[in-house]
C-alpha cells in the first residue's frame, strides 16, 4: 500500500536525491527545458513548481522583508554558490570580472522573468512529454519544459 508516501526515492539516499534535484532544478530554470528520465521528470515537476510558486508569491508580498523571505525560501531549490571572481590579463593589468554561479543565475531568472510570466496562472507551469526508451539501458526518457503562454485568438 502507498499510504502517506510523499515522493519518489529514485533509489538514492536523501542527500544524494536532494542534491540531484537541486542540480536538475537549476538547469531546468536556466534552460527552461530538460531531457531526463520519466521518474526524475515527475519528481522535478513537484520541486520546480514549488519554487515558481514562491516567485509568484513574492510579487504579491506586502513588505520587502516578506519578498526577501520568499526569495530565501526559493534559494533552497537551487545549488548553492556565490559570485565567483575570475582574473584575466588585459593590457598588462589583471581585470577582475565577477561571474554568477548557476544557482545565483537561476534564482535571479526565476524572480525576474519566470515569476512575472506566470503571475496570473494558478499552477501547472510545466509540461512533461514522453520521448521513448533510451538505447543504452531502456529507461523511459521525458522532456520537461515550462509551459508557454498561448496567445488568445480574438
The mean per-residue pLDDT over the stretch 44-49 comes to 95
User: pLDDT-based confidence at 118, cuts 50/70/90?
Assistant: very high
**DSSP string computed for 85-133:** EEEEEETTEEEEEEE--HHHHHHHHIIIIIHHHTTT--S--EEEEEEEE
What pLDDT, on the 0 to 100 scale, is given for residue 83?
61
- Cβ-Cβ contacts under 8 Å for 113 (sequence gap 6 or more): none
Residue extents of the structural domains in the chain? 14-146
The mean per-residue pLDDT over the stretch 104-108 comes to 92
| Phi, psi dihedral angles at 118 (to 5 degrees) | -105, 25
Q: The domain 14-146 is classified under which CATH number: 2.60.40.10, 3.30.70.520, 3.90.1030.10, 3.90.1150.10?
A: 3.90.1030.10
Spatial distance between the Cα atoms of 45 and 13, rounded to a whole number of angstroms: 20
CA quadruple 109, 113, 117, 122: dihedral positive or negative? positive
Continuous segment of H or E residues that includes residue 142:
strand 140-146
Residue 109 has pLDDT above 90, yes or no: yes
The mean per-residue pLDDT over the stretch 19-27 comes to 93
| Better-predicted residue by pLDDT, 98 or 16 | 16
Q: Average pLDDT of the chain?
A: 88
The mean per-residue pLDDT over the stretch 86-115 comes to 78
Residue 94 has pLDDT above 70, yes or no: no
Per residue in 58-81, pLDDT (tens digit) is 999 999 999 999 999 999 999 886
Amino acid at each position: 500500500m502507498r499510504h502517506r508516501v510523499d515522493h519518489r526515492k529514485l533509489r538514492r539516499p536523501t542527500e544524494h536525491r536532494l542534491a540531484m534535484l537541486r542540480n536538475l532544478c537549476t538547469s531546468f530554470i536556466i534552460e527552461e527545458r530538460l531531457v531526463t528520465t520519466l521518474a526524475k521528470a515527475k519528481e522535478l515537476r513537484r520541486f520546480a513548481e514549488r519554487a515558481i510558486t514562491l516567485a509568484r508569491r513574492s510579487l504579491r508580498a506586502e513588505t520587502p522583508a516578506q519578498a526577501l523571505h520568499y526569495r530565501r525560501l526559493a534559494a533552497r531549490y537551487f545549488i548553492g554558490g556565490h559570485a565567483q571572481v575570475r582574473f584575466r590579463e588585459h593590457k598588462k593589468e589583471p581585470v577582475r570580472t565577477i561571474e554568477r554561479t548557476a544557482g545565483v543565475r537561476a534564482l535571479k531568472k526565476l524572480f525576474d522573468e519566470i515569476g512575472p510570466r506566470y503571475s496570473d496562472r494558478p499552477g501547472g507551469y510545466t509540461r512533461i512529454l514522453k520521448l521513448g526508451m533510451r538505447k543504452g539501458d531502456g529507461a523511459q526518457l521525458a522532456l520537461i519544459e515550462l509551459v508557454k503562454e498561448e496567445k488568445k485568438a480574438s
